[in-house]
Amino acid sequence: MEIKLKQTKYRWWDFIALPFQCDPAATIALGVQKALTGISAVVQVPVIAKLIDLAIASTQGEAAFEEVLPWFFLLVLCVGWRRISFIVGSFFSKRLQVNAGAKMGIAFTDKRSRLHYSHIENADTWNLIKRVCTKVDETVSLMIQRVYNLMVYSIRIFGVLFFVFTQVWWIGLLTLLLCIPLILVSFKGGDKNYKSSKEAAQYDRRHQYLAEVLSNREAANERTLFGYSDHVNEDWYDQFEKARKIRLKANIRLMRSVRGGSVVTTILSAFITVALIFPTADGSITVGMFIALATSMYDLINMVGSEMTKAVTQLAQFGGYFKDLTEFVALSETAGATDAPEKKPIGFRSLEFKNVNFTYPNTDTPILKNANFKMESGIQYAFVGVNGSGKTTITKLITGLYDQYEGEILINEKELRTYTQSELKAIFCGIYQDFAKYYISVAENIAIGNINQMDTEETKAQMDALLKRLGLYDDLSALPEGLKTPLGKIQDNGVDLSGGQWQKLAIARTLINPAPVLILDEPTAALDPISESKLYEQFEEISQDKTSIFISHRLGSTKLANKIFVINDGCVAEAGSHSELMALEGTYAQMYESQRSWYQ
Ligand SMILES: Nc1ncnc2c1ncn2[C@@H]1O[C@H](COP(=O)(O)OP(=O)(O)OP(=O)(O)O)[C@@H](O)[C@H]1O
Ligand SMILES: [Mg+2]
């Protein structure tokens, strides 16, 4: 059974509903186990009373020894169950944890893959996603245990009070009145602790990130080169200390309240014990009942004073988790985000930006301002411009990653928003500055570019041809398992490629895609100049009748494009072929002049 994430708010009853969805059998079994534990603690009271009374009677010859035995066995059963119950409980809570990890993992992965792209680029939502998805298995398993613990406490409180009431009603009432403030204090303490842990969490996130910087593989070179470890270490320690102090304060508060509570509970228990002496003396309760009640009351008051605070603290934390979870489920999705490209080829005639304005969600600075340009089929285009001028942003709009723009974007004279994601994927394909490295085989790394025809002979032949063109074929087919060799270090026999080889692989993945429009956002930064210029020269041949959109800072490469758009401050400042733009003697000509020496 698959888990469907709730579209409405997660509430307190989901402390039970969610674990139940993940593993109904374990949730019920844990409930039975805990209920029996609570009941056995209550049953123990009359059993101990009876046992003591009969034992005394038998020493005085008023009862036979055989009469004592059944009560003795009952006591052994109660105590024995509590020992076994711990093992049973650990087994089912572990089982629940494993199943919750699997089921919630699937549901979360599904949700994450549908998320609107803006949430992935936004630091706040990205943090939220990480918070919700890590350790969900442990959280689900613990939340039901804490709820059940409260149930055990309730059974014990009501059960023991029931006996007291039936024996001496006024002592029952007295205990109840004294327990209520203790329960209230423990709830309040729990809530305060939760608030402290939330405050500490923000420092935790930061010192965990810094610990990552200090230890991860990607930054290893820079750590050595820049020698910044000590500096980062200090910062790490600072954040760690802040979190530690908050926790320490909370712990001291907890200890104080527990210690204060234990003084109160000792006085209370003593008081109740003294109170119980009177009915014992006048014979309204037996000696056995006196001992059983006095001991269980002490346990009970102690439990209310300390364990309950802990359970409430954690439940409040899980309440916070539910708030996050509700927010995560509500994050907007892109309809059809996970769909494969439309199988039926969609022809490309034109792409036009008409007065397009765009601001990233949750920011104020407009990035595109009145952008206007038109592209037509079969032509090679290039975008050039300084860092941050908006080139990559334009490609994100074209491919439908962001759709909250003003103005019009027309594809084949039809508004972009009227296309489905799978239609857009059939028209555009691209490779970005931060292309991905997949730790799968060489062949798969390329073939996933044409997901609808991954395993066809045609794709294989195309792959070989592309690898040869890109000058990768000889190197890669010489790998231990040829093109089937796994890449990356996550497999024992995996091999790593050089930065440039990875990039060429990513280019091959893009080129094998049948979409008629190719977007290449600086895909050649890791290539050596010879490979790069060779690639651009071959490009017309490789891309055949495709329309291509190139983005590069190296104008010697973009020079070959039929039409160049110079992007400046979010709009098209100049447009034309290389010679037209040179004749214009504007921004482009200046940029080209400053790079001229690179090409001569
Ligand atoms: N997800 C985002 N949220 C908010 N602002 C963003 C986001 N992505 C980019 N920006 C901002 O948009 C502006 C344009 O960025 P863009 O990546 O389009 O520039 P670019 O022209 O591709 O630059 P480069 O040549 O460095 O690749 C920059 O100021 C950048 O800070
Ligand atoms: Mg860019």
**529 band by pLDDT with thresholds 50, 70 and 90:** low
Closest residue CA from atom 18 of ligand 1 = 390
Which pLDDT tens digit goes with each residue over 442-487? 999 999 999 898 889 999 999 999 999 888 899 999 998 889 998 8
Helix (H), strand (E), coil (C) string for 87-131: HHHHHHHHHHHHHHHHHHHHHHHHHHHHECHHHHHCHHHHHHHHH
- Cβ(531)–Cβ(471) under 8 Å? yes
Q: How much distance in Å is there from the Cα of 220 to the middle of ligand 1?
A: 27
| Burial (Cβ within 10 Å: 0-12, 13-18, ≥19) of residue 335 | exposed
Closest residue CA from atom 25 of ligand 1 = 387
Q: How much distance in Å is there from the Cα of 283 to the middle of ligand 1?
A: 86
- Cβ(556)–Cβ(600) under 8 Å? no
Which pLDDT tens digit goes with each residue over 22-66? 999 999 999 999 999 999 999 999 999 999 999 999 888 888 888
Q: How much distance in Å is there from the Cα of 366 to the middle of ligand 1?
A: 11
Q: How much distance in Å is there from the Cα of 384 to the middle of ligand 2?
A: 10
- Cβ(375)–Cβ(355) under 8 Å? no
Q: Is the pLDDT of residue 270 over 80?
A: yes
3-state secondary structure of 433: coil
Closest residue CA from atom 3 of ligand 1 = 360
Q: Is the pLDDT of residue 14 over 70?
A: yes
What pLDDT is recorded for position 173?
85
Q: Is the pLDDT of residue 491 over 90?
A: no
Instruction: Please identify, by atom number, the ligand 1 atom nearest to the C-alpha of residue 433.
Output: 27
Residues 375, 53: Cα–Cα separation, whole Å = 98
Closest residue CA from atom 19 of ligand 1 = 388
Q: How much distance in Å is there from the Cα of 382 to the middle of ligand 1?
A: 17
Mutate to test the pocket of ligand 1, among 367, 435, 568, 569 (most ligand atoms within 8 A of CB): 367
3-state secondary structure of 243: helix
Q: Is the pLDDT of residue 181 over 90?
A: no
Which pLDDT tens digit goes with each residue over 317-351? 788 889 999 999 999 998 888 888 988 889 999 99
Which pLDDT tens digit goes with each residue over 139-180? 999 999 999 998 998 898 889 888 888 888 888 888 788 777
Q: Is the pLDDT of residue 412 over 90?
A: yes
What pLDDT is recorded for position 599?
62
CA neighbor of 81 nearest in space, from 47, 36, 32: 36
Comparing 93-102, 177-186, 195-204, 514-523, the range with the smallest average pLDDT is 177-186
Q: Is the pLDDT of residue 600 over 70?
A: no
Is the Cα dihedral 266, 267, 273, 276 positive or negative?
A: negative
- Cβ(446)–Cβ(435) under 8 Å? no
**588 band by pLDDT with thresholds 50, 70 and 90:** very high
**Distances in whole angstroms, Cα of residue 186 to Cα of each of 255, 260, 296, 358, 531:** 12, 12, 20, 52, 70
**Distances in whole angstroms, Cα of residue 101 to Cα of each of 125, 126, 320:** 22, 20, 19
Site residues for ligand 1, CB cut-off 6 Å: 121, 360, 363, 367, 385, 387-393, 433
Instruction: Please identify, by atom number, the ligand 1 atom nearest to the C-alpha of residue 383.
Output: 21
Q: How much distance in Å is there from the Cα of 384 to the middle of ligand 1?
A: 14
Mutate to test the pocket of ligand 1, among 124, 353, 360, 363 (most ligand atoms within 8 A of CB): 360
**314 band by pLDDT with thresholds 50, 70 and 90:** confident
**Distances in whole angstroms, Cα of residue 172 to Cα of each of 158, 161, 163, 268, 294:** 10, 6, 8, 13, 12
Q: Is the pLDDT of residue 524 over 80?
A: no
> Cα-flanking dihedrals φ and ψ of residue 288, to 5°?
-60, -45
- Cβ(307)–Cβ(153) under 8 Å? yes
Mean pLDDT of the chain: 88
Q: Is the pLDDT of residue 541 over 80?
A: no
- 353 DSSP β-pair partners: 373, 409
Q: Is the pLDDT of residue 543 over 90?
A: no
For a pLDDT cut of 70, what percent of the chain falls above it?
98
Which string of b and e fits 431-448 if b means at least 16 CB within 10 Å?
bbeebeeeebbbbebbbe
Residues 358, 298: Cα–Cα separation, whole Å = 68
Q: How much distance in Å is there from the Cα of 387 to the middle of ligand 1?
A: 8
What domains lie within the chain, and their CATH numbers?
14-329 (1.20.1560.10), 350-599 (3.40.50.300)
Closest residue CA from atom 24 of ligand 1 = 387
For a pLDDT cut of 90, what percent of the chain falls above it?
45
Closest residue CA from atom 1 of ligand 1 = 121
| Mean pLDDT value across residues 128-144 | 91
Mutate to test the pocket of ligand 1, among 353, 389, 565 (most ligand atoms within 8 A of CB): 389
Which pLDDT tens digit goes with each residue over 363-391? 999 999 999 999 999 899 999 999 999 99
Closest residue CA from atom 4 of ligand 1 = 360
| Mean pLDDT value across residues 478-498 | 84
Q: How much distance in Å is there from the Cα of 390 to the middle of ligand 2?
A: 7
Which pLDDT tens digit goes with each residue over 85-105? 999 999 999 999 999 999 999
Q: Is the pLDDT of residue 3 over 90?
A: no
pTM over 0.85: no
Residues 6, 4: Cα–Cα separation, whole Å = 6
